[in-house]
């Protein structure tokens, strides 16, 4: 169940606040409360929860219903004496978000509706490394067009798109470095400019956001339907190791959007040389290639998800070398994670990506290191758990990030429809 990105704290507004701003803000407030409700709330419930009068809530809800953002739920349960309440839910036939992903050996497209349901999901297996970025993106545009058509058949309108890539992406969508794709300074928006638009244009929702895969996977995990903390460290273990840092439902992005490169935190300062130019990086101890090497599988050249499956099989079969390799990787990971927890005060660590199927073996050493080294572990233990979502986390997170923006500013969508 997606919600918009947190709530406004006490800060100065970004610009003039006008008469019309009232309705815009209250549209967002009411929509957010509907999204966050455990059961479909009535207008009277919403009035009580928001502090707005029932008259105002009725007017706001009327707009939301007219704009296909909200619908009345049925049937209505009986509550004893009094007029029956009409529950309100997010509509499944209005706007939706388009998520896209370009990863080492697959392209993916996904449509998530306002209520958070995945309404379309396509994966195209392909080795992207030999492809020029423009060619890879052209194929992705094909996937996007098919997704858009399918969504339209289902009565949905795509309101914006987000693309997940495994690398450093700045705020303008420039992919500064994605080593696993072989991309360097790839201007994705510019390369896509010659193609037809991916979605409708909606005020307040960017046509395309390009974001780091680990960040979007963390976002997907946040909304995966499990009630859990809104603050956690989500680690995607692949060839590279990326992290999404989630605090109170908001992604920490860093000064330029390049945060989360946990795989290049030194775990042994004078240790193994790393492709980044440093020594002793976590990636050299807990990254996919390091684990395969330690397990005696070096040179197998397995695709990313096959590598994790292979390691899982061997571990389940009790293969000594594999178990030892995972223990060593888990210990290195745990040392790094403990430091990160001391620095960032996050009390949940989610093992995602290639680490998710390996969690039974990685979790014990991570927990041991965390328990030993985290200052606050004695009175506030750290949870380490596998991710709920699998390889679809990033593309679902990407689509969901669009939904989040619509929910944060429903007035933009309503203006588009008029």
Partner DNA sequence: GCCAAATAATTCAATGACTGAACAAATAGC
Partner DNA sequence: GCTATTTGTTCAGTCATTGAATTATTTGGC
Task: Give the binding-site size for its own copies (rule: CB under 8 A).
Answer: 82
The pairing of strands 174-178 and 168-169 is: antiparallel
58 binds DNA, rule: CB under 7 A: yes
> Could you tell me if 326 and 362 are in contact, meaning their C-beta atoms sit under 8 angstroms apart?
yes
Centroid of chain to Cα 95: 19
83 binds DNA, rule: CB under 7 A: yes
203 binds its own copies, rule: CB under 8 A: no
Length of the chain: 418
In the DSSP assignment, the letter for residue 238 is S
Our CB check for its own copies shows the closer of 149 and 375 to be 375
- The contact pattern for its own copies, residues 367-386, with x = CB under 8 A and - = no contact, is -----xx-xx--xx------
Near its own copies by CB under 8 A: residue from 2, 32, 98, 191: 32
Q: Which residue, 141, 152, 240, 253, is CA-closest to 197?
A: 141
Span near its own copies by CB under 8 A; candidates 70-78, 104-112, 352-360, 403-411: 403-411
Residues in region 53-112 near its own copies by CB under 8 A: none
C-alpha span between 212 and 191 (Å, rounded): 18
Our CB check for DNA shows the closer of 16 and 317 to be 16
- The contact pattern for DNA, residues 19-38, with x = CB under 7 A and - = no contact, is xx-xx--x------------
Q: Least distance (Å) from DNA to the CB of residue 79?
A: 6
> Could you tell me if 311 and 323 are in contact, meaning their C-beta atoms sit under 8 angstroms apart?
no
10 binds its own copies, rule: CB under 8 A: yes
Give 17's contacts (C-beta < 8 A, 6+ positions apart).
none
Q: Least distance (Å) from its own copies to the CB of residue 286?
A: 12
> Could you tell me if 406 and 202 are in contact, meaning their C-beta atoms sit under 8 angstroms apart?
yes
Q: Which two tokens stand for residue 250?
A: 């908001």
11 binds its own copies, rule: CB under 8 A: yes
Residues in region 224-283 near its own copies by CB under 8 A: 229, 231, 243, 245, 247-248, 252-262, 264-269, 276-279, 281
44 binds DNA, rule: CB under 7 A: yes
Near its own copies by CB under 8 A: residue from 38, 51, 78, 153: 51
Q: Which two tokens stand for residue 220?
A: 């997907």
Our CB check for its own copies shows the closer of 50 and 58 to be 50
340 binds its own copies, rule: CB under 8 A: yes
Quote the radius of gyration of the chain (alpha carbons, Å).
23
Q: Which two tokens stand for residue 290?
A: 């390091």
4 binds its own copies, rule: CB under 8 A: yes
Q: Least distance (Å) from DNA to the CB of residue 9?
A: 20
80: partner contacted, choices its own copies, DNA, none (Cβ within 5-8 A by kind): DNA
Give 405's contacts (C-beta < 8 A, 6+ positions apart).
4, 97, 160, 204, 205, 206
Our CB check for DNA shows the closer of 78 and 125 to be 78
79 binds DNA, rule: CB under 7 A: yes
Give 81's contacts (C-beta < 8 A, 6+ positions apart).
none
Q: Which two tokens stand for residue 337?
A: 């994670």
> Could you tell me if 398 and 244 are in contact, meaning their C-beta atoms sit under 8 angstroms apart?
no
Residues forming contacts to DNA in the complex (CB under 7 A) are: 16-20, 22-23, 26, 42-45, 51-56, 58-62, 78-86
């Amino acid at each position: 169940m997606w919600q918009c990105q947190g709530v406004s704290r006490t800060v100065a507004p970004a610009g003039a606040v006008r008469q019309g701003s009232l309705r815009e803000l209250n549209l967002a407030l009411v929509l957010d409360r509907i999204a966050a409700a455990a059961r479909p709330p009535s207008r009277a419930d919403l009035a009580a929860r928001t502090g707005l009068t029932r008259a105002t809530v009725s007017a706001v809800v009327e707009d939301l219903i007219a704009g296909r953002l909200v619908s009345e739920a049925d049937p209505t349960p009986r509550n004893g004496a009094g007029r029956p309440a009409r529950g309100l839910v997010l509509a499944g036939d209005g706007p939706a978000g388009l998520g896209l992903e370009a990863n080492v050996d697959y392209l993916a497209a996904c449509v998530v509706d306002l209520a958070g349901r995945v309404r379309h999901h396509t994966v195209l297996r392909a080795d992207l490394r030999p492809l020029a970025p423009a060619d890879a993106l052209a194929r992705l545009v094909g996937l996007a067009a098919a997704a858009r058509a399918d969504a339209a058949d289902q009565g949905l309108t795509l309101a914006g798109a987000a693309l997940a890539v495994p690398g450093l992406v700045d705020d303008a969508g420039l992919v500064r470095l994605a080593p696993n794709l072989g991309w360097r300074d790839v201007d994705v928006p510019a390369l896509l400019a010659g193609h037809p638009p991916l979605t409708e244009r909606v005020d307040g929702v960017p046509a395309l956001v390009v974001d780091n895969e680990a960040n979007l996977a963390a976002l997907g995990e946040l909304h995966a339907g499990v009630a859990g903390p809104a603050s956690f460290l989500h680690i995607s273990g692949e060839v590279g190791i990326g992290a999404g840092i989630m605090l109170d439902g908001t992604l920490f992005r860093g000064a330029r959007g390049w945060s989360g490169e946990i795989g290049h935190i030194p775990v042994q300062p004078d240790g193994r040389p790393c492709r980044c130019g440093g020594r002793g990086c976590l990636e050299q101890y807990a990254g996919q290639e390091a684990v395969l090497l330690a397990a005696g599988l070096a040179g197998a050249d397995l695709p990313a998800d096959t590598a994790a499956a292979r390691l899982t099989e061997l571990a389940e079969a009790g293969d000594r070398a594999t178990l030892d390799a995972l223990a060593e990787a888990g210990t290195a990971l745990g040392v790094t994670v403990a430091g990160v927890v001391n620095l960032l005060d996050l009390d949940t660590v989610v093992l995602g990506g290639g680490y998710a199927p390996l969690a039974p073996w990685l979790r014990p050493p991570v927990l041991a290191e965390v328990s030993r080294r985290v200052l606050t572990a004695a009175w506030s233990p750290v949870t380490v758990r596998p991710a709920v979502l699998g390889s679809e986390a990033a593309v679902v997170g990407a689509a969901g990030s669009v939904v989040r923006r619509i929910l944060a500013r429903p007035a933009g969508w309503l203006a588009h429809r008029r």
